[in-house]
Every structure is written in structure tokens, then in C-alpha cells.
Amino acid sequence: MVTHHPDMRLLTEFASGSLPLAQSAAISVHLHFCSHCKRQVNALQDMGAEMFDTLQPADVDDSLLDNVLAHLDDEAPLTYASSAAIDESPVLVQRLMTGDYKDLKWSRINKALQIARLRTGDPEHEFALYHIKAGGSIPCHSHKGTELTLVLEGSFSDEEGVYHQGDFLMRDAEDVHTPTASRTADCICIGVLDAPIRFKPWNYRLLNPFLQLQAS
Amino acid sequence: MSELPPEDDPDMQAQQNVQPNIKVNAEGKRDDEWSQCLQVIANKRDRAAFARLFKHFAPLVKAFAMSGSPLAASHADELVQEVMLKVWQKADGYNPRKAAASTWIYTIARNCRTDMYRRLQKFDTPLAAEDIWVEQEEEEPFVAVQQRRNAARVREMLTQLPQEQAQILAKVYMEGKSHSEVAEDLELPLGTVKSRVRLAMQKLQIMTDQR
């Protein structure tokens, strides 16, 4: 049961199309798990549609219709969206990975934590998978911008709560926290960062290059 | 999401008496006409029906394109063609029980506009808008019906929003701006923009339970 959701601003910007790509991807994965937010997004889209419907129509040259009519028989480009839902993991995540979790290029941060970046093409945000070993923690850290987290598998907890599959969190720059995976299972999360993450203890400073924002 | 109107709601009863299971909104059967039109396009590959639909929706798609970023606006005609071609190609995926025709076409326009913007900015991405906005399946027919009633109510309420809220919603949806971009545009604090959106949503009875 999903209990942590994106806030209203995120859902509105998602539905209206202004949310950056990597953040939209994280919201999209949340919707895969959360029918509550799915309905909210549907309602928000309905609202966009009503506004669309009452726009002042613009002049469209007749040649445009002729042009489109002439192309109606062109073969439609192949689309893959929502067709490959055989596997359990969200389609979008499958699209971003080639193969399985184990085939990704994981960077080892410490005994408990590995990170694999996935390329979304978003120039301002990093989209990465975090694999936290059962019982392990992500070193205490803070960050400059916003950090979005979504639990894909397993669960983790921090100073403020416990988060299970599908749960969504947004942390601001001031928040300092130490996420810890449950003792019984490894945890895989999506993390979307818009600024470099900074670890607190001095001995992790050397590791920071791994966690610098990588505009992919 | 709000509760369904109570059973003694006279408006709702009147609607149900006239045409059960069909969305009837303030503008009568308009949505229905286009729903049927889309189904004729899907089933019969009817070009005349498509031309009719084009004449109604292409000017709206173009207006939508032109209210977006200047970069996308300068490609408005291209966007119109792309969207309308998609409508033809994907018509058999349209489900009138799930969405009004205008909602379905709006989401295609939004997707194409977003993709086009990223393309023009030379984003190199493996994701298309359709991967992000996966068409949301609604398993429960009850919810689908409720959703369509909500849409009818939203339409009516939109016209009654105070100007300062309507203006912000238009910027968010039609201009495709983030809350902070709207704040910058209107020289308002971000908090003011957020709270006006929230107020508008409350009036429209959308997301009243979201933080």
C-alpha cells in the first residue's frame, strides 16, 4: 500500500507537461504503483482538456488538411509504450535499462550502497538507481537542490518514516537524512537529483565525484 | 476526488433520466458528437469524418501550440499536422468510456508539444512523452463514470473562477509553464502562485485531499 505521494505542485506540473523529464519519469513510475495519484492526474488532465476546449481557435490554412490527408496512409511509426508490461518492473524503467538490474554499470560507493545512473537525456537532472544492501545505510548526506526518491523494491526508513514499494519522497536542500534499508531485504530506489549530493562525514568526501550531478 | 453527488441531486437525476451512461455537459451533446466521430474514424477509416474532426480540433491544437514556448510556437503548423496524424493513427485506441474526445486529443497535443520542444532543444533522450504519460487504465467502471461527471463539473466551474486564479491555470496548462516560471512572469512570490493554484483546485474540487 503506497502511503507517500508527490505533492500537488509536482502532479500539476506533471499533468500539464512542464515538469523536467527526469522528475516526470519518477512521477510516472509512482503512478505505476499508485491508483490514487493516477486518478488525481486524470482529473488534472481533464482540467487541461477543458481549457484546451475553450481556447480561442487559431486560423488553420486549408493546405494543412490536404497535407495531413495526403499522409493518412503512411505507416505509423512503431511505438513501444505500455506494450511490454510482461515483466513486473514499470515499463518506463525497462525502457531506460538495457537488460536486468545486474547488467547495469553500478558504481560502488561503500559496502552497502551502489549507484547506477540511467540516461534520460534530461540535461539538468540526474536519474539513478540506488541499491542499498539489507540493513545498510546511505551515508548521511545533504544536497543543494531537490531530491526525489521512489522505492522500486524492498523498503527503507529514515528519520521520518518507513517507505515501501511505490512510495514517493521529495527532499529539499535543507533536509539532512540517513536512509537505511530494511534488515530483511535489499532496497532499490530511483533517485532524481538536480544538484550534487554532499555527504557529511569527511571520509566520504573523496567519494563525492561519484555523486556529482552528471548531466547525461 | 470528491464524493458522488447525493442521490437526491436534481441535476444529476435529470441527466440520468435523459441519457443514462452518456456524459451530458453544459454544452449538450458536443463531446458525444466528437466521440462518435472518432469511433467512425477508427472503425470505418472514414476520411470525411476525419476532415470534420480536423476542422474542429486543428484550430484548437494550433492555438495550444501558439500559447506554448516561442520555440514550439514557431512550429505550430508542424505540430498541428503531427497531432492530427496521430489522431488518425491511434483512433482505434480511443475508448469513449474512459475519456471525452477532447480530453483524448488534448493529451495527444500535450505529448506532441512536449516531445517537439525537447526535440527542438536537441534533447537526446530514449524516452518519448508516451512513455512518461502512459495511458492510465481505469479498471473500475464506477470510477470512470465518476471521472466523466467530474469533467463536466470542472467545465462549469472553470468559468466561475476569479480572474487571478484562471490566469495562473491558463499559464500552467496552456503556456506549459512551471509554477516558478509563472511566478517570475507575473512578478508574484512562488508561494502566492502555489496557493492560488490550490484555491482553484479546491473550487474545482480536484485533489482536495492532496497535500
Is B4's Cβ below 8 Å from some Cβ in A? no
CB A173 within 8 A of CB A146: yes
Q: How far apart are alpha carbons A14 and A29 in whole angstroms?
A: 12
Is the per-residue pLDDT at B27 higher than 60? no
**Residue A141: count of CB within 10 angstroms of its CB:** 20
Amino acid in the structure at residue A40: Q
pLDDT tens digits, one per residue of B59-104: 999 999 999 888 888 999 999 999 999 999 999 989 887 788 998 9
Q: How far apart are alpha carbons A106 and A104 in whole angstroms?
A: 6
pLDDT tens digits, one per residue of A173-203: 777 778 899 999 999 999 998 855 555 554 4
Mutate one of A30, A51, A98, A192 to test the B interface: name it (highest B CB count within 10 A): A51
Q: How far apart are alpha carbons B115 and B65 in whole angstroms?
A: 12
Is A62's Cβ below 8 Å from some Cβ in B? no
Is the per-residue pLDDT at B30 higher than 50? no
Q: How far apart are alpha carbons B188 and A3 in whole angstroms?
A: 33
CB A137 within 8 A of CB A159: no
Give me the percent of chain A exceeding a pLDDT of 90.
44
Domains, chain A, ranges and CATH?
A: 8-96 (1.10.10.1320), 98-210 (2.60.120.10)
Q: Please state the rounded mean pLDDT for residues A98-117.
A: 85
- Residue ranges of domains in chain B: 19-137
**Residue B103: count of CB within 10 angstroms of its CB:** 22
More confident residue, A208 or B168: B168
Give the pLDDT of residue A162: 93
- From residue A34, give the alpha-carbon distance in Å to each of A5, A82, A169, B15, B97: 8, 16, 13, 32, 21
B114 exposed, middle or buried (CB, 10 Å; 0-12, 13-18, 19+)? Answer: buried
ipTM score here?
0.82
Alpha-carbon gap: A142 to the closest alpha carbon of chain B (Å): 23
CATH numeric code, B19-137: 1.10.1740.10
| Biggest distance spanned by C-alpha atoms of chain B | 56
B174 CB neighbours in chain A (<8 A) are: 51-52, 55
**Residue A170: count of CB within 10 angstroms of its CB:** 18
Which pTM value belongs to this model?
0.83
Is A198's Cβ below 8 Å from some Cβ in B? no
- Write out the H or E segment, with its range, that includes residue A110: strand A107-110
Alpha-carbon gap: B146 to the closest alpha carbon of chain A (Å): 10
Is A42's Cβ below 8 Å from some Cβ in B? yes
